[in-house]
Amino acid sequence: MNYSKDIKRSIEYIATHIKEDLTIQMVARHAGYSLYHFCRVFQVCMGVPVMEYVRKRRLALAAKELHEGKRILDIAMAFGFETQGGFTKAFRKEFGYSPGQYALRMARAGNNLVQPTIRSDYGGYSMIPTFITKPSFKVAGYGITTHIADGSFTKDIAAFWNSYDTNGWETKMYDQLNPPRHGEVGICVPESKDSDHLVYLLGVIVEDFSKVTPDMITLEVPEATYAVFTTPPVDVTAGGRDGEANQQDFPNAIRATWKYIFEEWFPESGYVYDESKLDFEFYDERCHFRPDTVMDIYVPVNKKA
């Protein structure tokens, strides 16, 4: 028998019926094998049991739909999970983080941007993170309240960044708060563990909140162990690609790095996302209109049990 051809047919069958109530008996029957023999052949050829493959395939496709901005509950129902909680548990077990966290980070970087691929070796640039334990610190600055369920998050953040620039909030923030070092922290703070409402804060690290004005937002970020990723360098100066500054290259690099972290690094890393902590983006003098513009992404992690 042509096992490779038969397994390929079974995979195509699974793909066609992935959102239906698939059973192992249905797949084996379609392949023309006895249940026992099909299970043996499938695992030898694919390296995983049949229904484990189905589960992984469903979760991978669910991640794709999250990336496209679809609602978590709708995705859970579409892929046969009886509850959103059951879907969240399965997604977290597979990838090391919740679907809400994935959707949030993808939305943060902007769903309307192109989707470049980030590898561990990005054109000779290493994407291997460094690990640090950072003590708790205080952040003060400007922000907005928004949510991710209906897709408005991206537009809200884009509008906030426009206001941040046009209102001169960066200059005001530095003049008012006089932080000990240059660098802005971009951080999302969920209202609660299961809520899609959150505060997006763009601020600076301060020693205390004594200089904060009423229109500012403050946050104490707890101590955590972070995997720190630096985005691939891009040229955003006037002498960049085609002789013009491409203002999308930098946000594209940020988004692609988040995509790499969640879709490639976590599954193979031996770490899981520490849901009791907060991730953040850090923008310092390295991202100010340079030919090698970069920034850092701090992801709180724990080693897998």
For 42-67, the pLDDT digits (tens) are: 877 788 888 889 998 999 899 888 87
Mean pLDDT calculated for residue range 169-191? 92
Question: What pLDDT score was predicted for residue 40?
Answer: 75
Question: What pLDDT score was predicted for residue 116?
Answer: 43
Question: Are 199 and 144 spatial neighbours (Cβ–Cβ below 8 Å)?
Answer: yes
Which stretch of 49-63, 140-154, 169-183 has the lowest confidence by average pLDDT? 140-154
For the cut 90, the answer to whether the pLDDT of residue 301 exceeds it is: yes
Question: What pLDDT score was predicted for residue 42?
Answer: 85
CATH 3.40.50.11030 fits 3-95, yes or no: no
Domain segments of the chain as ranges: 3-95, 121-303
Q: Which CATH class is domain 121-303?
A: alpha beta
* Token digits of residue 260: 């790499």
Q: pLDDT for 205-236, tens place per residue?
A: 999 999 999 999 999 999 999 999 999 988 88
Which stretch of 15-24, 121-130, 169-178, 212-221 has the lowest confidence by average pLDDT? 121-130
Question: What pLDDT score was predicted for residue 206?
Answer: 97
CB neighbours (10 Å) of residue 76? 21
> What is the residue-averaged pLDDT of the chain?
84
Rounded to an integer, what distance in angstroms lies between the CA atom of residue 185 and that of residue 161?
Answer: 13
For the cut 80, the answer to whether the pLDDT of residue 285 exceeds it is: yes
Question: Are 50 and 57 spatial neighbours (Cβ–Cβ below 8 Å)?
Answer: no
Give yes or no on whether 3-95 and 121-303 have one common fold.
no
CB neighbours (10 Å) of residue 70? 15
Residue type, 141: G
Instruction: Provide the whole-model pTM.
Output: 0.73
Mean pLDDT calculated for residue range 17-42? 86
Question: What pLDDT score was predicted for residue 112?
Answer: 43
* Token digits of residue 247: 């203002």
Question: What pLDDT score was predicted for residue 113?
Answer: 40
Question: What pLDDT score was predicted for residue 45?
Answer: 79
For the cut 80, the answer to whether the pLDDT of residue 291 exceeds it is: yes
Q: Which of 17, 94, 59, 81 lies closest to 25, judged by CA?
A: 17
Q: pLDDT for 89-114, tens place per residue?
A: 999 888 888 888 887 777 665 544 44
Question: Are 232 and 125 spatial neighbours (Cβ–Cβ below 8 Å)?
Answer: yes
Question: What pLDDT score was predicted for residue 243?
Answer: 42
Sign of CA dihedral 35, 37, 40, 43: negative
For the cut 80, the answer to whether the pLDDT of residue 122 exceeds it is: no
Question: What pLDDT score was predicted for residue 140?
Answer: 98
Rounded to an integer, what distance in angstroms lies between the CA atom of residue 168 and that of residue 66?
Answer: 34
For the cut 60, the answer to whether the pLDDT of residue 185 exceeds it is: yes
